[in-house]
Each structure stands twice: as C-alpha cells, then as structure tokens.
Amino acid sequence: MPERIMDLFDAGAEKLKKSQSPLAARMRPEGLSEFVGQDHLIGEGRALRLAIEGDKIPSLIFWGPPGSGKTTLANIIARRLDAHFSALSAVSAGVADLRRVVEEARERLKFERRRTILFIDEIHRFNKSQQDAILPYVEDGTVVLIGATTENPSFEVNSALLSRAQVYVLNPLSEKEISLILKRSLEDQNGLGNYHARLLEDAEKHISSFAQGDARIALNILELAVMTTPPDKDGWRVVGLPQVEDAAQKKSLRYDKSGEQHYDLISALHKTMRGSDPDAAIYWLGRMLEAGEDPLYIARRVIRFATEDVGLADPQGLVVAMAAQQAVHFLGMPEGKLALAEAVIYLATSPKSNSVY
C-alpha cells in the first residue's frame, strides 16, 4: 500500500487516539501560532522561526527542561515542512532501530521526494557508537535530525554530532504562560471545553507555581481536578484551591515572589545564617524552594552572605557558595537543592566577620 495512503490511515488512527489521550496530548499545538512560550526562539523575526517559515531547517538539538515544548516544536516543524516524522526514544531504541528509520527515509526521499525528520527524545541517553551511527545520514541529508535533551549537550552529545546540529535552549515556561495554557484548555473543545469548568484564581496560581514551568504537569493536575469536581446546580464545575491541592497532593504555601513575603523569607534565611542556626536556615531555604522561588536568586544571596557576613573569618565560605551556584546552574532542580542546602549549612556554622569592609 502506498505510503501516502498509509499516512491517511495513520492520521485517522492518530485522531482517534488523541481524543482518548490525556489533556496534555490533546492540547498539543499544531502550529507556531498556537505555541506558547520560547519567544526568544520562535517569536516574530527570530532566526529559528524564519528558518521554519523559509523551509531552511538544519539539524537541531533542543535543550530544555521537561514540559517546555521540545517534542511539540519538533512536530510543528515536521508538519510545516510536510516532512515525515519518525520518532525514537533513546531510552529504548538501538542501532537497529536507527538503521530501519534511515532505510525508510532513503526510500521515501528517492521515490516521493519527501524529507524525513528523525526525532530522538533524550538523545543524551545514546552512547557514543549509537550517536556515531547517525552521523553519515545527517551529513548526506538522508534525515534531518532533531534531538531533545534535558542535559547540557556540550557534555552529553558527541562533538562530531554537535558540530552538525544547531543547539537551541528552551526555557521553563513562566507562570503567566502556564496560566494561558490552562485558560485555553478550559475553553478548547479538544480540551475541557465540554465540561463547563471554571478555575478560581487561587487555584490557577497554585497550579502555575506548582508546575515549575512544566506544562505537562500543569495540565495533568487541571484535568484530574476538573474530572473529580462535581457540577453545581447550574452545571458548572467550579475548581478551587482545595480541589487543586487534592489533585496535586500538595498544599499551597503562602508566598508572593514579588511581594513582601519574598523579602521577609530571604531576610529570615539571612538572619538565621548570621545567628549560626543551621536548622532554622534550612527551614527557610526549604520554604522558599517549595514555594517556587528562583534557586539562582537564593544562590546569589548566599554568595553575598559569604562575602559580607562570613568574610575573612572563613574565606572558604565564598568558594562553597560559588560552587553551590555553579551546581544549581549546571544540574538544575531538584538536584540543585542539595548544593544550596550544603552551602547554607556550611555558612550558618562558620565563624562570622565583616572585617573585609
């Protein structure tokens, strides 16, 4: 059976599958106009957007946290270029799978003059020989590679492959962007539009903060909260903070990252470290991290404390604080929490001196 006809059958099966899929899959954007976030990459006039619209896509590697849109963007590119989309997961695929996809791509290019986008999720999980196996086919244009990774590709992807692909960094979605996705999902008929659900403001804020930039987490919580909230007498499912907390299995911590509590809590951390109370310091550190504070903001304040309050009484404190900042930047969260905790404990138990002034 010709591949185009097979693609039509696949499209029908995909449509049925999507209707029965989780909310995050049903709300996956199909075009750039629907894509939320990553304006630094695909905003109007940006290089990647111009390359997509001009049909000039090189091989790419998307580096970003979970739920930031790496797979979605790869799908949009394939659809825009009318290219066949072949997806592999580096967790389960091997060299034999790569060879099969490449052979199919070669036949497709030869007989249909149609390109193949080879999408490899978690590409950093491929070992050196597996990554090397892709190289010749990226070089000769048999496939256009789009790799997705949550790890720094400079350390996890072979330099030979890196030199043949353009690396783009995707950022975690902002709380404002998460809120926009939630609102769309409540209105869209492919989403939760048929359930007549309304999300109260405090519940929306909790989901947006709890998701930590991951749209998939946010949509999973929203879907469960809506589905478990019974309609009221008017037929509306009014989803409030209790329903969202129950769905997320996590209570909301009162914390305004741009208001008074932001400064109150960082001040409390500062004072407990100055008072040499590591237990209290760890408590305030945990409060801020659990409430969604930017870990790099905390790291900057810890570095400042190391120079201002510990100072020359223990110059090693600055080294520990800087190492914690680097660890947070390199590892991200949640692993970076341990580095911050180590630095906070070290500085809280260190002798104090402001003689550097």
Q: Which two tokens stand for residue 213?
A: 């930039």
Query: What pLDDT score was predicted for residue 263?
Result: 73
- Given a contact cutoff of 8 angstroms between Cβ atoms, the answer to whether 57 and 85 are in contact is no
Region label for 162, one of left (φ > 0), alpha (ψ between -120 and 50) or beta (otherwise): alpha
Q: Of 198, 183, 191, 278, which is closest to residue 234 (Cα–Cα)? A: 198
pLDDT digits (tens, 9 = 90+) for 237-280: 999 999 998 988 865 554 455 555 667 788 889 999 999 999 99
Average pLDDT, the chain: 87
Q: Tell me the domain boundaries of the chain.
A: 37-169, 175-248, 260-348
Distance in angstroms between the alpha carbons of the first and the last residue of the chain: 80
Kindly provide the residue ranges of all beta strands, DSSP E only, lying in the chain, ordered along the sequence. 60-63, 84-89, 116-121, 144-149, 166-169, 197-199, 237-239
Q: What pLDDT is attached to residue 3?
A: 56
CATH class of the domain at 175-248? mainly alpha
The structure tokens listed for 149 are 């990774």
Please write the tens of the pLDDT for every residue from 327-354: 998 888 788 899 999 999 999 999 999 8
* Contact indicator for 154, 176 with CB cutoff of 8 Å: no
pLDDT of 7 reads: 58
The predicted structure's pLDDT at residue 150? 86
pLDDT digits (tens, 9 = 90+) for 208-239: 988 888 899 999 999 999 999 999 999 999 99
Q: What is the CATH number of domain 37-169?
A: 3.40.50.300
Residue 305's closest CA among 256, 345, 334, 262?
345
pLDDT for res 209: 84
Q: What CATH class does 260-348 carry?
A: mainly alpha
To the question of pTM greater than 0.75 for the whole model, the response is: no
**Cis ω on the peptide bond leading into residue 334 (within 30° of 0)?**
yes
**Residue range 133-183, pLDDT digits in tens:** 888 989 888 999 999 998 888 878 888 888 889 999 999 899 999 999 999
Beta carbons of 170 and 141 less than 8 angstroms apart: no
Residue 315: strand, helix, or coil:
coil
Tell me the one-letter amino acid at 37. G
